Amino acid sequence: MAELRNSFREALKSRTLVADGAMGTMIQAAAPALEDFQGHEGCNEILNVTRPDIIADIHRAYLDAGVDAIETNTFGTNIGNLGEYGIVDRTYELARAGAEIARKVVSEYSEPKWILGSLGPGTKLPTLGHITFSELTDSYRVAASALIDGGVDALLIETTQDLLQAKAAVIGARQAIGSRDIVLIVQVTIETNGTMLVGSEIGAALNSLENLGVDLIGLNCATGPTEMSEHLRYLSQNSRVGISCMPNAGLPILKEGSAHYPLTPEELAISLEKFVEQYGVRLVGGCCGTTPEHLKAVVHKFKGKSGRELVRSSEPGTGVSSLYQFVPFKQDRTYLAIGERANANGSKAFRESLLREDWDGCIEIAKEQIRDGAHILDLSVDYVGRDGVRDISILSARLATV
């Protein structure tokens, strides 16, 4: 049976909510002792069990600044990060502990406050062959289950760099949520070159993720608000779900041997205010370089303001996406072209390459069609006597990065 309606979900409908800022730099400022890491120096999630007081104080600093929601100290509770320390088996323990710290701190405040369960990208990207999709999905399911059991109101999949990694996280989170009313948020990271780390544009990210049952989609990390503006504009014009935004405090600059984030609290607040007014952003916050002072300025900027419903001039189009780009079904100046020569039963050249297991030859036939103007490729490997599952796995993986 589904639980009572999530109050965080209801609040998002009425106004723009403000989440907290950076966690890592706040932990560094608290200067935990080396022994606090139980021999796993740099694994901040260990502090959820060894120094919950440090994490609780960070949460209070943001809540005292007036934010509506705080993120759990669980960014690294995944198979990639914890695997580097040999403690993957502690995923559930550390994630639940992080959620319980946040839940206890939130209970100290009389006004409504909410908890976002943080799920970071880890260090293993399936598109690059570091890990299988199923392994990553299982890892996220465990962490998400722990966060929900610990009392979070929402799951925040953030700083995603690979669309397959983001999909695995969303699917794992959905498996953990089940029938419970937990808000699901996914945020991609767009680099200064205008794409995600593996080359995906914002259109491909939106088309790949919004249909998986997410409640909000947005951007965080890598850049400041200025560099995010055009990507948020795209989301505002094309997304069918709500939008979130948690930028860094500008692009980092080297100052006295370390990274310095130049954006002042007021500058961050002004930028986020524009995003809410122009793009209808429903959840704002900060990432690297942001502090309680930054978020206090943001809270002040939004105090007493109701959320603005975004009115689009036209309905978003439908289409398909590859790893890199979105292709709308409705083309402006031509027809939608589907290349059909990568077919074992329709192309002798493709079939012969397949039978020889000349994978490069198969890919070249597909690439020829792209050069000839195909928007979409039809890949069919079914042929008598062949292991179709094996063949399609090999070729689709290679074509994904063409």
Q: Is the pLDDT of residue 6 over 90?
A: no
Residue 3 has what pLDDT?
A: 43
Residues 170 and 175: their CA atoms lie apart, in Å, by 9
Confidence of residue 310 (pLDDT cuts 50, 70, 90): low
What backbone torsions phi and psi does residue 222 show, to the nearest 5 degrees? 70, -50
pTM above 0.85, yes or no: yes
Residues 124, 36: Cα–Cα separation, whole Å = 26
Q: What stretch(es) of the chain map to CATH 3.20.20.330? A: 7-302
Token pair 């083309």 in the structure block, residue: 331
CA distances, 57 to each of 22, 45, 102, 291 (Å): 13, 15, 10, 13
User: What does the block give as tokens for 296?
Assistant: 């206090």
Q: What is the b/e burial string over 142-180, where b = at least 16 CB atoms within 10 angstroms of the residue's CB? A: bbbbbbbebbbbbbbbbbbbbbbbbbbbbbbbbebbeee
72-82 mean pLDDT: 97
Task: Provide the pairing of β-strand 326-328 with 319-321.
Answer: antiparallel
Q: What is the pLDDT of residues 175-210, one digit of tens each?
A: 999 999 999 999 999 999 999 999 999 999 999 999
329's CB contacts (< 8 A; 6+ apart) are 317, 318, 319, 320, 336
Those residues whose C-beta lies under 8 Å from the C-beta of residue 178, and which sit 6 or more positions away, are none
Here the tokens at position 313 are 């001039």
- The pair of three-digit structure tokens given for residue 86, joined into one six-digit string: 């040999």
Return the CATH class of domain 7-302. Answer: alpha beta
Region 47-67 average pLDDT: 98
* Residue 4 clears pLDDT 50, i.e. is over it: no
42 band by pLDDT with thresholds 50, 70 and 90: very high
pLDDT confidence of residue 190: 97
Per-residue pLDDT reduced to its tens digit, 325-351: 999 999 888 899 999 999 999 899 999
pLDDT of 265 above 90: yes
Residue 261's identity, in one-letter code, is Y
**Residue 228: how many other CB atoms lie within 10 Å:** 25
d(CA 89, CA 112): 34
Contacts of 384 (CB under 8 A, 6+ apart): none
| pLDDT score of 88 more than 80 | yes
Distance CA 352, CA 363 (A): 13
